[in-house]
Structure 1
Amino acid sequence: MRPLSELSLEQARSVRVVLSDIDDTITSEGMLTAAAYGALEALHKAGFLVIPVTGRPAGWCDHIVRMWPVDAIVGENGAFFFRYDRIRKKMHHHFWASPEERQLNRARLDEIEKEVLATIPGAALASDQAYRVADLAIDFCEDVPPLPEREVDKIVSVFERAGAQAKVSSIHVNGWFGAYDKLSMAKTLLADVFKIDWEDAKRSVIYAGDSPNDEPMFAAFPLSVGVANISAFAHRLKSKPAFITPSHSGDGFAELAALLLRAKGAPRV
């Protein structure tokens, strides 16, 4: 991972789309700071397409895409994207799986939930689970005392033994049934809504993240950035981001935004 300062102005000028994780990438210690929100707003006003790509639930995503300065959102690690048409006041939804498939998958996830909570002391259902439509989120440090890494690995193994995918974020283990992830849905959104093909995306998209569930994005996009706290997960990553910010979490995201705005000659935060 090279310092963010080594991202050249020429590379930065090629960026038209900013994709970013939310938890511990845009937020800091669970809070959306003025600096991070201001960075989002400045990027949006400067004409960048700004798209969060998150593990957070559908209920939160509806709020975010309505009320934040963003153009769309990918949620639940790729289960869907939402886009809000502010002129027509209409929300557009695109799900990977049909309602019938999601219902069947939920029954299977309910069994995994029972096993995890019965066999791994200290693990808990994520407090935002009630707002999810496609995945199961197990909290290992957001609202519970942090679990040791070996216990987090046990949670992952329960999902995988049941044939589910499982990804570790900075706060949750998210699991689901379906051949999708953050990258597959981001590519669908870029192509179907914004008419950005994959070859163009590799030149014009930058991705920011902080944890192992961002790894498909780090691997796919030549312009990928980890905020400084990615270092805590570096040993779990086969594919690391190309660049790393000096600062952690939302402050690191603001540093990335400042570089992009400077390259474009746009007003900074």
Structure 2
Amino acid sequence: MTMQAISDMPAAEAAAIEVLFTDIDDTLTEDGQLPALAYAALEDLARAGIAVAPVTGRPGGWCDLIARLWPVAGVVGENGAFYFAYDRAARRMRREFVAGPEERRANRARLDALAMRILDEVPGAAIASDQLYREADLAIDFCEDVPALDRAAVARIQQLFTEAGAVAKVSSIHVNGWFGDYDKLTMCRRFAAEVLGRDIDAQNARMAFVGDSPNDAPMFGFFRNSCGVANVLRFREQLEAEPAYVARAEGGAGFVQIARHLLGARGV
């Protein structure tokens, strides 16, 4: 597939979007921070009746805050391990996990042992600084709070996860690994059904996804109206599936361009 400019998304298709899933790091953010314009775009989308749901590798602690404080319908976190959705009228947080508490505890012990092996075998790698707030996975930092590792080192981290029987996905900052048969797409399917009352297979044309890195490939491949911010082009050789459309700008500025195209098609 050849990525087209976001401006080439037909107006009728853009106007039909009712649900927008979006990655966070390097998709909404720039240099590790959330720009005001990107947050404002989330608000504008919500006011226009588009349900927005961040889909992220970030930890449960962050997702609880995002679900409560951001103008979103809910959050899919830790690469699909759970979703959180806050009912503002009832003042109640809904938390749904793939695995139960006992299975998560057992997996945590396995991941803790694996973490020690990875740190021993890959010099310069570190446990991600947000690991303390994670419910189900292990995040290894290769460039967020440590000097950037080369591609070979990142591949070795991913290999060590795989050798241990874990699933491993590479984001723009971390290698995330977990035990279990799930990913971002499987939990988005469940979130859409249980929270939004939507079928993402039957209503694919009414949904879109925005991302930036290789671990977003399943989402790029599934959603007909998938979009990338411009920094996705850095990973083009590593993408198993490409987004259908791409913004001109990187990070949060690129997300704003995509949001404005969707809103403009609605006359907003």
Q: TM-score, normalised by structure 2?
A: 0.98
Q: What secondary structure, in the 3-state scheme, does the structure 1 residue paired with 2:198 have?
A: coil
Counting only pairs closer than 5 Å after superposition, residues 52-67 of structure 1 correspond to structure 2 as: 52-67=54-69
Contact 2:142/2:175 (CA < 8 Å) preserved in 1? yes
What is the CA distance between 1:192 and its match in structure 2?
1.7
Contact 2:86 2:93 in 1 (8 A): yes
1:200 paired residue among 202, 222, 247: 202
Gaps of 5+ in 1: none
Q: Which residue of 1 aligns with 2:108?
A: 106
Aligned position for 2:129: 127
Which residue matches 1:162?
A: 164
Q: What secondary structure sits across from 1:26 in the alignment?
A: coil
SS of the residue corresponding to residue 205 of structure 2 reads helix
1:46-77 superposed Cα distances (whole Å, 9 cap, x missing partner): 11101000000000000011111111000000
**Which residue does 1:183 correspond to in 2?**
185
**How many percent of aligned residue pairs carry the same amino acid?**
52
Return the alpha-carbon distance in structure 1 between the equivalents of residues 203 and 32 of structure 2: 30
Structure 2, unpaired ranges of 5+: none
- Contact 2:214/2:240 (<8 A) preserved: no
The Cα of 1:264 is off from its aligned counterpart by: 1.0
- Give SS of 2:38's match: helix
C-alpha displacement of 1:135: 0.1
The AA in structure 2 aligned to 1:215 is A
The one-letter code of the counterpart of 1:4 is I
| 3-state SS, counterpart of residue 216 of structure 2 | helix
1:19 alignment partner, SS class: strand
From 122, 141, 144, give the equivalent of 2:143.
Answer: 141
| Residue among 77, 80, 97 paired with 1:78 | 80
Please say if residues 142 and 149 of structure 2, whose CA atoms lie closer than 8 Å, have aligned partners that are also in contact: yes
**SS state of the match for residue 210, structure 2?**
strand
Give the aligned partner of residue 33 of structure 2. Answer: 31
Rounded Cα–Cα distance in structure 1 between residues aligned with 2:200 and 2:254: 27
Residue in structure 2 matching 1:264, options 255, 263, 266: 266
Q: Give the 4+ runs in structure 1 shifted more than 2 A.
A: 198-201
- Which residue does 1:223 correspond to in 2? 225
- Alpha-carbon distance, 1:14 to partner: 1.2
Alignment correspondent of 2:235: 233
Q: TM-score, normalised on structure 1?
A: 0.98
